[in-house]
Amino acid sequence: MVQALVCAFLIVLLPRAMNSSKDFINDNGLNSHLSALIQNLDGVEKEAVARQYIPDMQELNIRSDESSDPISDEKYTPINGIVHRYPDRVLFKVSNVCDVYCRYCFRREMIGVGVGSSHLSDNDFDEAIKYIKSHKEIWEVILTGGDPLILSPRRLQKIFDCLGEIDHVQVIRIHTRIPISNPTKINDMLPPVLKSVSKAVHIVLHVNHTVEINDNVGVAIKALRAQNCSILSQSVLLKGVNDDAKTLEELFKKLITLHVKPYYLHHMDRAIGTSHFRVSIKRGQEIMKDLQGRVSGICLPKYMLDIPDGFGKIPIDNGYINALDDGNKYNIEDYQGCTHIYSDEI
């Protein structure tokens, strides 16, 4: 019985595609940078970082309101590699793997070597580029996956060259965790590739706690900025990691000193086995109200909810969300003016 439970635990919880490269992943499922970082921390700071990456038995608690595709990427996928939810921009999922695997990730069931190739096939890549070329309303292409910066400089160069030939694409956005989770990968090979891009490049870093930003991360951010890239950040509001105003104040202020603009604070998506990370909307709004009086306006990101079933992101303020009488249900309005009922049970 115990052996069966342990086997089930490992199958469900270990990242689906621990990158097999010994340069990145050690026996704990963490790369050497994160392992060293966690080992050098104590107390709540250690827990705040480790909790994000190390499997927990609580992930076996699967709730009925959780989904393998909580924001309905699949619904808006016209061809492999492209998610076209909003008219003027697309997600271009160029990689299927990450350098490390976040336990709360909304794509945790979709990414990793175990669910397919590590990146798009040549044919799928060509079809994705054709799709972007044929839809002249696409102004921005967002590279995501997986993590696009896990790709080789040669493959990244091919992506940038192909997008650079499409006149109506004006902006390339890159969503990445690597400058935070493995900053040494931002080496001498990557910056020249970025410098060659003919479009405006905006890099969005995923970071949730100040202690994730050490000297090596600062060097990586500086190297990216030197290539004429705009740098923003996105964070996820996570119980036991950053669910208090003081922690987020320190994070956002630190980012601003590094010339990184806090962009989004995400209300967590309901991926399978993630309920132990949940923070209520009410608590999130209280934290944002507290931050409003504690930090400069340039430090404040938007607090965002991605409406389940693919209805898009909305800022969580009184103009978009209102509590109903029973206390844990909300009436929310999406970007198109449609209303939906959102249940916020914790």
Question: Would you please indicate which residues are annotated as catalytic (active-site) residues?
Answer: 85-86, 89, 98, 102, 105, 107, 269, 306, 313
- Given a contact cutoff of 8 angstroms between Cβ atoms, the answer to whether 133 and 125 are in contact is no
- Contact present, 45 and 209 (Cβ < 8 Å): yes
Q: How far apart are the first and last CA of the chain?
A: 30
Do residues 213 and 49 make contact, with C-beta atoms less than 8 angstroms apart? no
Q: Which residue has the tokens 């044929």?
A: 134
Please enumerate, as own/partner, the contacts of 22-26 that have beta carbons within 8 Å and a separation of 24 or more. 24/99, 24/100, 24/182, 25/100
| Three-state DSSP state, 89 | strand
Residue type, 180: I
**Neighbouring C-beta atoms of residue 292, cutoff 10 Å:** 11
| Contact predicate 217/184, CB 8 Å | no
* Nearest-5° Cα angle at 266, 263 to 269: 150
Residue type, 335: Y
